[in-house]
């Protein structure tokens, strides 16, 4: 999950950094009514920063998602532990029967047990992938809301550029809009339901 989260943070930082990008300004000129280039404004752009990592860690929705994820992971762990107990019991029973079974019968039972073990292992990996996918989908809902909120704050506050805090080395506290962004995010999106996961394929 950490590698996926890192990628999403990088992508979100790029989006926020480009929120108020103006093609005309980037080209170094604007055009007036006469069609001639208008003089450039000397006023420096208004800049702000937002701590994306903090928002994706401390927002109500993010905490809610992690709580749901942990609850679901614990349930799956209990399910797998039960299957492991059954497999250990089957292995012990097969070991006791070895002396009375023919070689072919023993080998057949051993193959069947190995197949059951392999199936449980596949289910564990499937569960892990499903949890990763569900986590990513839920966190993307937060990211979409976050971008919308930052866009609104930039428009309302006349902010020209918003950087992810991880992209800057030093910034004054007055330029940090993280607290207000967090308040708005919590109010707009207090929780996100973790997507449902299809049942594993048998034991």
At 111-126, the pLDDT tens digits run 999 999 999 999 999 9
pLDDT at residue 7 in the model: 44
Residue 151, number of CB atoms within 10 A of its CB? 16
pLDDT score, position 198: 74
Burial of 10 (0-12, 13-18, 19+ CB in 10 A): middle
Q: What is the structure's pLDDT at 143? A: 97
Angle, nearest 10°, between helix axes 103-157 and 178-188? Answer: 120
Answer whether residue 90 is part of any domain. yes
Total domains present in the chain: 1
For residue 3, being part of any structural domain is answered with: no
pLDDT value for 203:
45
Which residues is 49 bridged to in the sheet? Answer: 163, 176
For residue 14, what pLDDT is reported? 47
194, part of any domain: no
Tell me if 8 is assigned to some domain.
Answer: no
- Model confidence, pTM: 0.72
* Helix, strand, coil in percent for the chain, rounding step 5: 65, 5, 25
Contact residues for 167 (Cβ-Cβ < 8 A; gap 6+) = 13, 17
> For residue 22, what pLDDT is reported?
43
Q: What are phi and psi of 162, to 5 degrees?
A: -120, 120
Distance CA 178, CA 171 (A): 12
Mean pLDDT of 44-66: 96
Mean pLDDT of 162-178: 92
Is 195 part of a structural domain of the chain?
A: no
Paired tokens of 203: 């034991």
Determine, yes or no, domain membership for 133.
yes
Which candidate, 74, 15, 61, places its Cα nearest to that of 186? 61
Note the pLDDT tens digit of each residue in 101-114: 999 999 999 999 99
Residue 48: φ, ψ to 5°? -140, 165
Q: Summarize pLDDT for 25-40 with one digit per residue, the tens.
A: 344 444 445 555 555 5
Q: Would residue 5 count as lying in a domain?
A: no
pLDDT (average), residues 73-92: 94
User: What pLDDT is stored for residue 176 in this prediction?
Assistant: 95
Lowest mean pLDDT among 60-64, 106-110, 111-115, 166-170: 166-170
Domain extent at residue 123: 13-18+46-188
**Any domain includes 7:** no
Percent of the chain with pLDDT over 90: 71
Task: Write out the two tokens for 95.
Answer: 């070991």
């Amino acid at each position: 999950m950490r590698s996926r989260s890192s990628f999403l943070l990088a992508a979100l930082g790029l989006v926020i950094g480009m929120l108020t990008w103006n093609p005309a300004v980037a080209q170094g000129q604007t055009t007036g009514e006469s069609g001639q280039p208008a003089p450039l404004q000397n006023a420096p752009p208004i800049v702000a920063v937002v701590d994306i990592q903090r928002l994706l860690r401390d927002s109500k929705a993010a905490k809610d998602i992690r709580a749901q994820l942990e609850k679901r992971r614990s349930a799956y762990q209990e399910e797998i532990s039960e299957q492991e107990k059954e497999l250990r019991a089957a292995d012990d029973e097969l070991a006791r029967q070895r002396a009375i079974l023919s070689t072919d019968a023993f080998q057949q039972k051993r193959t069947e047990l190995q197949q059951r073990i392999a199936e449980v292992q596949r289910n564990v990996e499937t569960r892990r992938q499903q949890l990763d996918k569900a986590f990513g989908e839920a966190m993307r809902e937060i990211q979409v809301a976050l971008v919308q909120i930052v866009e609104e704050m930039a428009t309302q506050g006349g902010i020209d550029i918003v950087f992810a805090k991880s992209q800057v080395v030093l910034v004054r506290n007055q330029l940090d809009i993280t607290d207000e962004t967090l308040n708005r995010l919590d109010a707009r999106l207090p929780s996100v339901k973790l997507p449902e996961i299809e049942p594993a394929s048998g034991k």
